[in-house]
Amino acid sequence: MNIHNERLYHIGITPAQGARAAIICGDPGRVESIAELCDGCAPLASNREYTSFEADLGDERILVMSHGIGGPSTAICIEELYMAGVRTIIRVGTCGGMAKTVKSGDLVIASSAIRAEGTSREYLPIEFPAVADFDVTEALRDEARALSLPYHVGVVHCKDSFYGQHSPERMPVADELLSKWRAWIAGGALASEMETAALFCVSASLGIRSGAVLRALWNQETCEDSAAAPVIPSDELSAACVEDAMSSAITAVGAMRRLLN
């Protein structure tokens, strides 16, 4: 039996189909459009939340794969990509602004993450910081700058419950959620999302380099400050999500070219 040709249990590719680097995103529906930003691409596999394409960046072959929502599915993706030979990962995603300087459409390049989730605790003690690789972060910063895109580099907040953030007052632990939210903002957190702490801690445990570029869909704090917060129709929100995936993805693909050259 050739283990190199056996499909990995969750992501559905074989180690022989692996590569040195991967760009990952949450939504399986975004994988093809991200892969098409490269020099050539072809579908590989689709299983559960994990859809994958292979793509070319110059002479280098990379993978583009979805990881689903939240830390557990992201950790599985990283673990199995590592088994397939991946040693550099860039996550493309979305976030909600926390710092009032982060506007809708801005890029947030995560240098580190607040570990307000559970997955990373099964890899490293809570005292261990969730930190991006410096070279990956620098490449993302340099690419965003070269593209003249508005960007911020800093700490992001990572949680398990989407609605715990957006409707904290109806949760039995409302006091704790609201108090910590204020603390994260006071400490300078730029934005909130759900996967980056797991990405950074799993990467640290495996000895691989990773980074993340996120685009802010909106800013929860500035909307709350407005007496007339805008209501976005669902069709416009869907269009905004597509635009989001592409602007952060373009930055990620350019940064990966820098890292592989």
Model pLDDT for residues 4-32, shown as the tens digit of each residue? 679 999 999 999 999 999 999 999 999 99
Q: What angle do CA 226, 231, 233 make, to 5 degrees?
A: 160
Q: Give the pLDDT of residue 4.
A: 64
Quick one: pLDDT band at residue 2, thresholds 50, 70, 90? low
Tally of domains in the chain: 1
Q: Which amino acid is at 66?
A: S
Q: What is the CATH number of the domain that holds 152?
A: 3.40.50.1580
In this structure, of 29-38, 167-176, 229-238, the range with the lowest mean pLDDT score is 229-238
Average pLDDT over residues 153-168: 94
Mean pLDDT score of the chain, rounded to an integer?
A: 91
Cβ(139)–Cβ(57) under 8 Å? no
Give the three-state DSSP class for 141: helix
Cβ(91)–Cβ(195) under 8 Å? yes
Q: Is the pLDDT of residue 233 over 80?
A: no
Phi, psi at 186, each rounded to 5°: -60, -30
Average pLDDT over residues 38-53: 97
Q: Is the pLDDT of residue 243 over 90?
A: no
pLDDT tens-digit map of 92-115: 999 999 999 999 999 999 999 999
Taking the C-alpha atoms of residue 142 and residue 11, their distance in angstroms, rounded to an integer, is 31
Q: Give the pLDDT of residue 261.
A: 87
Residue (of 57, 51, 13, 114) closest to 252 by Cα position = 57
Q: Percent of the chain, pLDDT > 70?
A: 90
Q: Give the pLDDT of residue 3.
A: 55
- Element containing residue 140 per DSSP (H, E): helix 134-146
Quick one: pLDDT band at residue 226, thresholds 50, 70, 90? very low
Q: Note down the domain range covering 228.
A: 3-260
The pTM (predicted TM-score) of the whole model is 0.91
pLDDT tens-digit map of 67-85: 999 999 999 999 999 999 9
